[in-house]
Homo-oligomer: A and B are copies of this chain.
Amino acid sequence: MAKNVAIVGVTGAVGQEMLACLEKSSIKVGELRVMASSRSAGKTVKFKGKDVTIIEASVDAFDGIDIALMAVEADQSEEFSPAAVKAGAVVVDNSSAYRMDPKCPLVVPEINPEEIANRPKGIIANPNCSTIIMNVPVWPLHQVNPVKRIVVSTYQAASGAGRPAMDELAETTKAWVEGRPIEPKVFPYQLAMNLFSHNSKIGENGYNKEEQKMVDETRKIFACPEIRVTATCVRVPVMRAHCESVNLEFTNPITEQQVRDILAKAPGVKIIDDRAANRSPQPLDATGQGNVIVGRIRSDISQPDGNGIDMFISGDQILKGAALNAVQIAELL
């Protein structure tokens, strides 16, 4: 049965990829309604070869919509998502607005698809990008041997801060090459040929919001409040794929080979791990890919009981970190 689908925020980096993912998805789209700010209203986007005109997003724009995909900031989602639900739609929200709401499931289809049915508010939350990318390969390991603690350091692309941030990275890199002064406006600091701690607000415990999301959302997605996570989130001068250095402590001993065997069969995971060639996941491998790429799989020599594994992963921030995950949720509806 055809579904009427809305994409809100269709002109942004995530919105554009939602459109592309929707086109490739198994969802039979009846009406496609695309929305953005008033600036973009009247412009068109292509969907399956046809032009679709962008309308201004508003609370009155959801009549007849079955599935509303939100690719907007949290404050805008708080405005539009309840309106879409009221009009009869199920919302898949990419913002952080409803992620920790106990009445909204927080879903990665490879991990907890059964949670989709449990949505008293009519809103399904799409997790934080770094959290999705980390958890796609950690979950199948956790199923076999529960993970007690994760120490993760991220190498996050500009795309996480949206299209203007990607444009700024390109422009400031050009300025660096040309010897012109670099004046960031989207990011607080120069990202070209530099890096800095993630530009989200730092809380009272010293963790920034991105780090706290990785802690809190992992617990919710895994339905495992006892899993211990510490994260250090860092922006690096890369366009659109995140990397993460992940150190795991398991409940019981685990070998490299066990990890390889589990991940080789895991949905959404691809292994690139050639020690002889020193070939392991890079942002350029992950860019444009739906899978999370995993490599540098090795026993952690600092955990002599054999309970530790180190690995290095990369995933496309806009695809599996956002748009693709949201469309995969929509496919399950």
What residues of chain A have their CB less than 8 Å away from a CB belonging to chain B?
Answer: 149-151, 153, 155, 170, 173-174, 176-177, 188-190, 193-197, 199-202, 205-208, 215, 228-230, 232, 234, 236-239, 243, 245, 247, 256, 275-276, 278, 280, 282-284, 295-304, 308, 310, 312
Q: Is the CB of A298 within 8 A of B206?
A: yes
- B206 in contact with A155 (CB, 8 Å): no
- What is the CB-to-nearest-CB distance from A179 to chain B, in angstroms, rounded to a whole number? 11
A177-B173, A230-B247, A308-B230 known; A301 and B238 CB under 8 Å?
no
Inter-chain CA distance A298–B310, complex, in Å, is 23
Chain B residues whose C-beta falls within 8 Å of the C-beta of A199 in the assembled complex = 278
Q: How far is the CA of A155 from the CA of B312 in the complex (A)?
A: 13
- Closest chain B residue, CB of each to CB of A282: B196
Q: A196-B282, A206-B299 are in contact. List 13 more A-B contacts (CB 8 A).
A: A150-B302, A151-B247, A155-B155, A155-B195, A155-B236, A188-B278, A193-B238, A195-B282, A206-B256, A207-B301, A215-B302, A229-B301, A230-B247
Return the chain B residue nearest A237 by Cβ.
B237
Contact across chains for A278 and B208 when beta carbons are under 8 A apart:
yes
Contacts of A149 in B (CB 8 A): 302
Distance (whole angstroms) from the CB of A299 to the closest CB of chain B? 7
A170 / chain B contacts, CB cutoff of 8 Å: 177
A-B contact pairs, 7 of them (CB 8 A): A177-B177, A189-B282, A195-B243, A197-B312, A206-B310, A208-B278, A247-B247
Q: How many copies of this protein are present in the complex?
A: 2
Inter-subunit contact A228/B302 (CB<8 Å): yes
Contact of A300 with B190 in the complex, beta carbons under 8 Å: no
Q: Which of A206, A282, A284: most chain B Cβ within 10 A?
A: A206
**Which secondary structure dominates where chain A touches chain B?**
mixed
CA distance A296 to B153 in the complex (A): 13
Query: Which of chain B's residues has its CB closest to A241's CB?
Result: B194
Among B205, B207, B278, B301, the residue within 8 A (CB) of A215 is B301
B contact residues around A215 at 8 Å (CB): 301-302
The reply to whether B197 and A280 contact each other, CB–CB distance below 8 Å, is: yes
- Contacting pair B237 A282 (CB below 8 A): no
CA distance A234 to B278 in the complex (A): 12
Q: Which residues of B contact A193 (CB under 8 A)?
A: 173, 237-239, 283
Q: Which residue of B is nearest A176, CB measured?
A: B173
Task: State how many angstroms separate the Cβ of A167 from the closest Cβ of chain B.
Answer: 13
A209 → B minimal CB distance (Å): 10
Once the chains are docked, how many angstroms separate the CA of A236 from the CA of B238? Answer: 9
A197 with B302, Cβ < 8 A, contacts A155-B236, A236-B155 known: no
| A238 contacts across to B, CB distance below 8 A | 193-195, 237
Answer whether A304 and B243 are a contact pair too, CB < 8 Å, given A177-B177, A205-B298, A284-B194: no
Q: How far is the CB of A207 from chain B (nearest CB, A)?
A: 7
Residues B278 and A197 in contact, CB atoms below 8 Å apart: yes
8 A-B pairs with the lowest CB-CB distances in the bound complex, closest first = A206-B298, A153-B245, A153-B153, A228-B302, A230-B302, A232-B245, A202-B275, A197-B280
